[in-house]
Structure 1
C-alpha cells in the first residue's frame, strides 16, 4: 500500500453511539464531516465513502443535551460490528455511567474487536469504566480531566492532547475535537486531498482556519510511552518531521495550542483497509 496517498477503497461502516444526554456537537460534528467526505469523494469520482448508523442501548428518538434528538435506528450490535465506532460524551457523564451500565459492558466486549473505537470527550469515561484504558494515556474534555483521574487512577490523563491513540482505541478532547478526530480518520481512509477539502468546508473555506489538529500527525497521536512512537508503528508510515513546538512533554500528539497549519504528511489508511491491518 502506498505511503504517498490513500487509494480508493471499500465503503467504511461507521457506528455512532448515543444515549440520553449525549453532547449534540459530538454527534453532529462527525456526522457532518463524514457526509462532506462522501460528497467530495463522489465529486472526485472516487469509490468508497462512509455508511453511518446511529446506534443506542435503546433505539429510537434519543434526547441530547440540547433540544435536539437523534433517531437511533439500531441497537448496540454484538455480531457484525462497524469498522469504526464513535461514542459521544455527556456533560453529566457520571450519571450516564450509572445509567448506561450496559453500554460500559458493551464497550468492554466489543471495543477490542473494532478497527477504530473512538471515545469522544467524556466518552473516555466509558472506556475507562470498561477497564480498557488501564495503564494507558487518555484525552478528555479539559474540565473533566481531574475527575477522570480521580475516578480511574489507573488511567493517565493528558488534559492538553486533542486526541490520543492506543492501538485501535482513540480518545479525544472536548466537543469540537470530535471534528478534528473525524477529519484525521478521513485522511487515513481517503487521503490528504479529500481531508483538506472537507476541512476547508468545515472551517468555512479558509485553509488557514483549518488548524494543525484538523489533519493531524496521526502516528504522533500514540499515547503509549509518553506519546512517542514505539515498536508498533506501521512499517510503511512516513517518519514524522520535527516540529518547533515539540518540547519533550508535547511530543507525540496534537495539542490545544498548536499554530494554525496543516501538517504536510499523509498517513497509512486504517480502519477499513482491505487487508485488515489496523
Structure 2
C-alpha cells in the first residue's frame, strides 16, 4: 500500500488538495488497498483554505512518518508558510519515494531545498518569482507538469488532477486511471508537456482591429472571407496571406503582430495547428494523413516532425495514449 500524505496549512488552495485526493481515492476504489490517504497540518489543527473552507486534518505533521507520496499543495499560504512546514519538508522530503507539488506548492519545496538542480514548474504567474528566489531551480513556465526523477511539480489547480492521474496510471495501470478519469468526468488526455496556455490564451489579444480580426476573427462579408487563424488552420496562413487580410505589408504585419500579441505570426500559427491536430487525434477517428491535411501540415511526415519537436512523441503514439476509449477506431 502506498501512503499519500497531503500537507495542509492556512491559506491552502482547496482544489489543490481535493483534486489530487479525489484521483487517488478513485484509484483506491478501483484497486482496494492501493493507497492510504492522509492529511496533516503543522499542529494537527483545522486549517482555513484561501476560499474560506475549513479542513480538519487527520494528524499533525510532527506525528507523520515519511510517506510513499508526499504531496504539497499551493495557495496564498505558501507566501508566509506556518512555522515548521519548510523544516519538516526539508527533513522528510528527501526520504519520500515520490515528492509532488501542485501550483505554488513548488515554492515550499524550493524553500526546503528539494528542487535544487531540478527542472520544475508552478503556476504561470509565479514562475518568475520561483526562478528569481531560487536560481538553483530550472524553472520551465510552459508545461502543465514536470517530472524530474522522483520529483513532480505541476501548474495551477486542474494541472494537479492531470498529474495525479499520471501517477495513478504509473502505479495501477492505464485502465484504472481511465476509470478514475471517467468517474470524475475528466479526460485522461493531457500530457505533462502540454502548455499551460492554449495559443489563444498564451498570445495577447491585438489592440488594432485588423490584427485582431486575423487573430480572433470577424464575421465574413461578400468581400471578406474568414480571417481567423483558428477557424482555418489548414488554409494558407503564411505571413503574406495574413498580411493581405489585414491590409498591411508583410513586414509591417509581422512586426505589429509580434508587438501586440507577444508572439510571431509563425509561432502563433504553429501552436494553433498543433492544438487542432491534437484535438482531432483525441476526439475523432480520422486518419493521420487526413488530419495532417486538415491542420495545414500537408503530409504526415511534416506533422510527425512538429509533434516530435513540441511533444517528443509521434502522432500515432499520442493518439494511443490520449484518445478516450469511447472514441471509435476505423
TM-score (norm 1): 0.68
**Aligned: 1:137 with 2:119:** yes
Are residues 1:245 and 2:307 paired?
yes
Distance in 1 of aligned mates of 2:49 and 2:146: 25
The structure in which a higher percent of residues are strand is: 1
Q: Deviations over 1:153-200 (max 9, x none)?
A: 221111111222222221111111111111111111111110011112
User: Relative to 1, partners in 2 of residues 1:85 and 1:106: Cα closer, same or farther, differing over 3 Å?
Assistant: same
| Change in CA separation of 1:54 and 1:79 when aligned onto 2, cut-off 3 Å | closer
8 Å CA contact retained: 1:89, 1:124: yes
Is this contact kept in 2: 1:203–1:210, CA < 8 A?
no
Change (3 A) 1:212 1:38: same
- Over residues 211-260 of structure 1, what are the superposed CA-to-partner deviations in whole Å (9 max), with x where a residue is unaligned? 2338x9xxxxxxxxxxxxxxxxxxxxxxxxx8853326x549xxxxxxx9
Q: Is the 8 A contact 1:212 1:262 kept in 2?
A: no
Query: 1:76 and 1:92, CA in 2 relative to 1: closer, same or farther beyond 3 A?
Result: closer
Cα-to-partner distance string for 1:96-139 (whole Å, 9 max, x where unaligned): 3xxx3411111111111011111111011111111221222111
Indicate the RMSD between aligned Cα atoms, in angstroms.
2.6
How many residue pairs match? The answer is 209
Secondary structure at the aligned position of 2:46 is classed as strand
Which of the residues 101, 108, 132 maps onto 1:119?
101
Q: Does structure 1 residue 12 correspond to structure 2 residue 70?
A: no
Cα distance in 2 for partners of 1:147, 1:128 equals 11
SS at match of 1:16: strand
Partner residue in 2 for 1:195:
177
What secondary structure is seen at the aligned counterpart in 1 of 2:152?
strand
* Mapping for residues 39-50 of structure 1, pairs under 5 Å: 39-41=29-31, 47-50=32-35
Structure with a larger share of its residues in helix: 2
TM-score calculated relative to the size of structure 2: 0.58
Residues 1:105 and 2:87 are matched in the alignment = yes
Q: Which whole-Å CA distance do the structure 1 matches of 2:36 and 2:141 have between them?
A: 32
Higher relative contact order (Cα pairs below 8 Å, separated by 6+ residues): 1
Q: Given that residues 212 and 261 in structure 1 are in contact (C-alpha distance below 8 angstroms), is that contact kept between their aligned partners in structure 2? A: no
Q: Distance in 2 between matches of 1:212 and 1:76?
A: 32
Structure 1 17/92 Cα, relative in aligned 2: closer, same or farther at 3 Å?
Answer: closer
Greater Rg by CA: 2
Compared with structure 1, are the counterparts of its residues 91 and 163 closer, same or farther at alpha carbon in structure 2 (3 Å cutoff)?
same
Instruction: Report the Cα distance in structure 1 between the residues aligned to 2:78 and 2:308, rounded to whole angstroms.
Output: 32
CA contact (8 A) 2:43 2:62 kept: no
Distance in 2 between residues matched to 1:14 and 1:77, nearest whole Å: 16
Q: Secondary structure at the match of 1:55?
A: strand
CA shift digits 1:140-159 (9 cap, x unpaired): 00111111111112211111
In 2 relative to 1, CA 91–80 (structure 1 residues): closer, same or farther, beyond 3 Å? Answer: closer
Aligned residue for 2:5, secondary structure, equals strand
Q: Does 2:50 match 1:65?
A: yes
CA separation in 2, counterparts of 1:155 and 1:81? 24
**1:149 matches 2:131:** yes
**Mapped partners of 1:76, 1:111: distance in 2:** 12
Question: In the TM superposition, what is the alpha-carbon distance from 1:13 to its structure 2 partner?
Answer: 1.2
